[in-house]
Amino acid sequence: MAESSADETGGENIPRFEPNYLNSQVIHVESFRKLWLDALPPDLYSYETNPEEVEDAKLAELLELPIETLNELKDICSVNSLRSHPDDSPVDQNVVPSDPKLACLRLRKRRQDYRETLVRDTIGRHENYSNELESAHKGLLPEDPTSVIPEGEIILSFNIIYPVIFDRFKHVRAHQTLQVLGSQKLTELRDAICCVGDLQVFGEFSNIPDATPQYISKDHFKSAFFYFEGVFYNDMRYPECRDISETIREWAKTHGFPEYKTAKMEDTTFYELRMKIGYPYYYCHQGDCEHVMVLTDIRLIHPDDCRDRTLYPLLTHKHRVITRKCCVCHLYISRWITTNDRLAPMDPCLFCDKCFRMFHYDAKGNKLYDFQAYVYVDPGVFN
């Protein structure tokens, strides 16, 4: 339901269509960190302290038992004590009875039978991929001691949504999940976001397919901005950068919205931001390539996290997409897209490099008929 209220920046009677149960209130990141550091004892977030030992000590104190007795109880009540087979002959957990009685075993048996009909290597690769990014840097320490992240640092997790949600997508999909440190600049997150729009090559190259330029869009169009809680943070690191948020701010003025503030992305750390957890924010680059960003978590770093500062922003999830194959051979990944191509089965049409040249040029490389050709960058390059 819409709520009419006065905005902090001066706007009045502006409806707010915001379901409050989906996101938190505005949080100042640096204040959040200070409050937790004041409330928590250092042994809970210290690298030197073993959290399991601290928990055992507190439990022993609560039960008024010696720590040796508690450890003995843990061994007796351990899951390992429930085994029905000798320790020297561990049971094969992958073997399911042929006629299981439990519902969970019946489901597992059905899945096991299905897996046997598929390629073994493919199944293993995709099952392992779901957790490999999260576990790849778990507890990793840097070789250089100066690169160790100090205790009490804040980690923020962002979901970066695809710039275009096609009709066939029934749910919003996160393209990437990135973890950043509170002390990092906004430009470090901007550089870590991967988008196929940054790899595009502009121009029509049907007459000179071998003369495609070496630069990509990210090298040529460097302007970008983040939008967080009424402030546009512009990337102004290079002389050719422009304030591309100016158009939005001018439009807002003419439509009665409050005046938005601006700041430089390269001068702002995440500690300085005010954000809501679970609330969609905005990232724009390449002029009109727009991404929704959702802050999903703010927390203190703990010993199990990667403690190498040089690896942050840290990629913890990446959505795998199906590559678009050539419409002729259906084998190789597409490298060209043509329009006004009278011999193509569709318009526009995708071709791999080999089929593109064989289909449109003679043995000497001369163009056979009129059409337009553009370099195509497949989203599967990020797989």
pLDDT in tens, 324-338: 888 888 888 888 899
Distance from C-alpha of 322 to C-alpha of 381, rounded to nearest angstrom: 10
Over 50: is that where the pLDDT of 14 sits? no
Q: Where do we find the tokens 């160790």?
A: 148
Distance from C-alpha of 330 to C-alpha of 260, rounded to nearest angstrom: 50
Mean pLDDT, the chain, integer: 80
Over 50: is that where the pLDDT of 165 sits? yes
pTM for the complete prediction? 0.72
Distance from C-alpha of 207 to C-alpha of 303, rounded to nearest angstrom: 58
Over 60: is that where the pLDDT of 123 sits? no
Could you give phi then psi for residue 107, rounded to 5 degrees? -65, -40
165-169, 312-316, 378-382: segment of lowest average pLDDT: 165-169
The stretch 62-79 carries a mean pLDDT of 82
Residues across the chain: 383
Distance from C-alpha of 216 to C-alpha of 94, rounded to nearest angstrom: 49
Please indicate whether residue 125 or residue 73 has the higher confidence score (pLDDT). Answer: 73
pLDDT number for residue 225: 94
Between helices 67-76 and 51-63, what is the axis angle to 10°?
Answer: 100
Whether the link from the prior residue into 19 is cis, omega within 30° of 0, is no
The stretch 348-356 carries a mean pLDDT of 89
Alpha carbon 347 to its chain centroid, in Å, reads 33
Distance from C-alpha of 354 to C-alpha of 359, rounded to nearest angstrom: 9
Q: What count of Cα atoms within 13 Å lies in the side-chain half-sphere of residue 76?
A: 6
- Cross-strand pairs, 264: 234
Could you give phi then psi for residue 168, rounded to 5 degrees? -75, -15
pLDDT tens for residues 241-299? 899 999 989 998 888 888 899 999 999 999 999 999 988 899 999 888 888 899 999 99
Closest CA to 149 of 266, 313, 316, 315: 313
Contacts of 167 (CB under 8 A, 6+ apart): none
Percent of the chain exceeding pLDDT 90 equals 19
What confidence tier does 138 reach under pLDDT thresholds 50, 70, 90?
Answer: confident
Q: Where do we find the tokens 């939008």?
A: 227
Indicate the residue type of 9.
Answer: T
CATH number for region 140-318: 3.10.290
Is residue 29 within 8 Å of residue 154, measured between CB atoms?
A: yes
Contacts of 383 (CB under 8 A, 6+ apart): 318, 320, 321, 323
Is residue 302 within 8 Å of residue 138, measured between CB atoms?
A: no
pLDDT number for residue 313: 92
Domain boundaries defined on the chain: 53-79, 140-318, 336-382
pLDDT number for residue 15: 47
pLDDT number for residue 87: 63
